[in-house]
Amino acid sequence: MQDGLGVFELVAEDPLLGGSVPQRAAQGCAPLLEGHSLGLQLRLKQPIVVRKSLTGLGVDEAFIAKCRVMAPALVARGLLTAEDAAGAAKGLVSKRGRARLFTGVFVQSPPGLRVVLRAPSARASRALWVHPQMLEACEPLGRPTPIFLEFALRKGLSEARVDGVVATLMLAPGSAPELAEATLEERLELLRAHAAFYDQAYFEAKQQGKVTKKYKRLRDKGDVAEPSMRSSISVAQFGPRLIEREGEEIVVRAPFDFRARYDGSLVHVEADDRARAEFAREVEAELSPALRALGHEHPGAQLYFSKFFTPHPAGEPHFFVKPPALLRTLPGNSTLVEGRTFASCRTMRGLVRTDVFGAVPLVFEVFAPFEQIEFRAGEVLGSLWPMPRPLTKLAAKISSLGL
């Protein structure tokens, strides 16, 4: 990776965020920790200020001056086209409330892979909504790709001081992920593993407030010498089909309208009683006979899906949603549970080892207490990306172009 401005740097995130992750999560939530350390973080060396004006969004004059000076030199080096240089020289181009900020960073993906830019998973500015991008290789092939950060200022703000991490860079297979319905044999295998995990001992430990570390013990079984580099997911869905393809993404949708509100102590999630009951009936109609056929009697494995919502303990502004589906990826592949940012909350990023564990819960973090957050039936709550585990850990540095 190369840098022509000296404004940004690349850093690896500490899974524990320097000790700010709660002890309970550090002990028992491996997907959260692996999600924190995914890829590399694009971080500002010094803060910049983004402001609204009558003509759109603007940025510090000192930053613009640096971009204006460097753009012609980058064109001369063959790193920017004339079209890109016009936007780069302005530093930030704004249209209809959406901004495109030149970072001065150039990336080059290995053959057969793509660089993906997404919002940061943690310690992100709540003032910006960063839009995900697939950074395609430039033509002629082999020329580094410039990174323009695309974002919007949070509604209601006229100014924001942006500092620290602004985006995550990761690698993904060059082709879109495959999504297939699980075969009957796969469905039975997934259900058998799900029932064995959520057995009576598991729920008894949870009722006592214990951390079982069951997932942590299970995940090591998925380590293989040569992980498959094919991006593929097999999915077994029970009841409403909430997981589907949308363009290049595999998305998770809401089954019905619901709303959430954090009162400073608990997150309250509410929905129409009839809609929730109908959802539970549809899930149980498919799941109950299959679990009984496997000889599984404890209701917890079924309730895990049919309840859909699970709150966090008091004092934590989080809640789970659990789509009624089990996934299986190829050996050595995990599933990136990628969140969305809403007006007052976000779906947190996690990395689930779906080659050995099938459920993909979505964890919501509410960062604006006392506000009611509305979700609509069919709305996208998050996305799923199968990822070979060698691609989840990156080591790269930005080298200066010396301009």
C-alpha distance from residue 140 to each of 81, 107, 145, 231 (Å):
11, 14, 11, 26
User: One-letter amino acid identity for 96?
Assistant: R
- Per the structure block, which two tokens stand in for 141? 């092939």
Mind listing the pLDDT tens digit of every residue in the chain (403 residues)?
788 899 999 888 887 777 777 776 767 788 888 888 899 999 999 999 999 988 888 999 999 999 999 999 999 998 899 999 999 999 999 887 789 999 999 988 888 888 999 988 777 778 888 998 988 655 545 678 899 999 988 888 899 999 999 999 998 888 888 999 999 999 999 999 999 999 888 888 878 777 788 888 887 777 777 888 888 999 999 999 999 999 888 999 999 999 999 998 999 999 999 999 999 999 999 999 999 888 887 888 999 999 999 888 888 899 999 999 999 999 999 999 987 878 788 888 999 999 999 999 999 999 888 999 999 999 999 999 999 999 988 877 777 776 6
CA distance 382 to 252: 5
Residue 384's pLDDT is: 95
Average pLDDT, the chain: 88
Q: How confident is the model over 219-240, as pLDDT tens digits?
A: 777 777 788 888 899 999 999 9
| φ, ψ for residue 41, nearest 5 deg | -100, 130
CA distance 356 to 343: 34
User: One-letter amino acid identity for 56?
Assistant: G
In sign, the C-alpha dihedral spanning 73, 49, 12, 38 is: negative
Residue 140's pLDDT is: 47
Residue 403's pLDDT is: 64
Residue 65's pLDDT is: 95
The residues, ordered by sequence, that sit 6+ positions from 239 with a Cβ below 8 Å of its Cβ are: 279, 282, 283, 284, 285, 286, 287, 305, 306, 324
Q: Where are the domains of the chain?
A: 2-174, 178-391
Tokens 């039936």 correspond to 377
User: One-letter amino acid identity for 32?
Assistant: L
In contact, 152 and 23? CB cutoff 8 Å: no
Residue 236's pLDDT is: 97
Would 2-174 and 178-391 be classified into the same CATH topology?
yes
In contact, 329 and 230? CB cutoff 8 Å: no
Residue 120's pLDDT is: 87
Residue 217's pLDDT is: 84
CA distance 388 to 332: 6
According to CATH, what is the number of the domain 178-391?
2.70.40.10
Residue 373's pLDDT is: 93
Q: By C-alpha distance, which of 168, 226, 149 is closest to 393?
A: 168
Residue 128's pLDDT is: 86
Q: Across the strands, what pairs with 345?
A: 366
Helices (H) and strands (E) in the chain, counts: 9, 29
CA distance 34 to 36: 5
CATH class given for the domain over 2-174? mainly beta
CA distance 94 to 58: 8
Residue 98's pLDDT is: 82
Q: Across the strands, what pairs with 133?
A: 117
